[in-house]
Amino acid sequence: MDLASRGPSRRRFWSLVGPSPTTSRTSLELWPKFAAPVEAPLIKATRGRLKLNPAVPMVMLRSLGARSGEPREVPLAYFTDGDDVILIASNYGGTGHPAWYHKLRAHPECELHIGPRGGRFVARETVGNDPERLYRLAAERLTHVFALHEKRSGDRAIPVMRLAPAAD
């Protein structure tokens, strides 16, 4: 999903039918404990056709554990910037970085899957003005929940990861 070409109309649609289930303070606290563990099996069982929050595009990230080296999967909100996939390590506005961020830093080679489609990617953290530009784009065009995450995270700089298709 390329956010540069995506206007705010889809987000406005969801604001007309009701607030996104992830935008209130209570849901931001409950989502990681109750909804997130259900999301991965739901996405896998329906081959990407169903997810808990229809307003946000989701991808399944398969990476290796930072210390264990064991395969791990996690559903994440994403968007694209050219051929690259962008992931924001907001951790629901928590004060620490999410586990998947540490896994990608330790083992940048990973796989992304959207339903039956997928491929191999190599992750790197964005630098310079790129993280701020991409974060603002996500907050403006994807969901305002990222603005809440930024506010709740305090002084923590929220990393933005850029995943480029791996060369075969």
Tell me whether residue 3 is in a domain: no
Number of domains in the chain: 1
Tell me whether residue 4 is in a domain: no
The pLDDT score that the predictor gives to residue 142 is: 73
Residues 6+ apart with CB under 8 A from 116: 47, 48
Q: Which of 83, 80, 95, 82 is nearest to 160 (CA)?
A: 80
Tell me whether residue 36 is in a domain: yes
CATH assignment of the domain containing 74:
2.30.110.10
From first to last of the 168 residues of the chain, give the pLDDT tens digit.
Answer: 555 555 555 444 444 444 455 556 666 677 777 777 888 888 888 877 888 777 778 899 999 999 999 999 999 989 888 889 999 998 877 888 999 999 999 999 999 998 778 899 999 999 999 999 998 888 877 766 677 677 777 778 889 999 999 987
- What's the whole-model pTM score? 0.79
Residues 6+ apart with CB under 8 A from 44: 60, 73
Tell me whether residue 115 is in a domain: yes
Tell me whether residue 82 is in a domain: yes
Please give the structure tokens belonging to residue 45.
Answer: 């069982």
Tell me whether residue 83 is in a domain: yes
Euclidean distance between the first and the last CA atom of the chain, given in angstroms as a whole number: 23
Tell me whether residue 116 is in a domain: yes
Range of the domain at 77: 9-165
Tell me whether residue 2 is in a domain: no
Residues forming beta bridges with residue 88, ordered by sequence position? 160
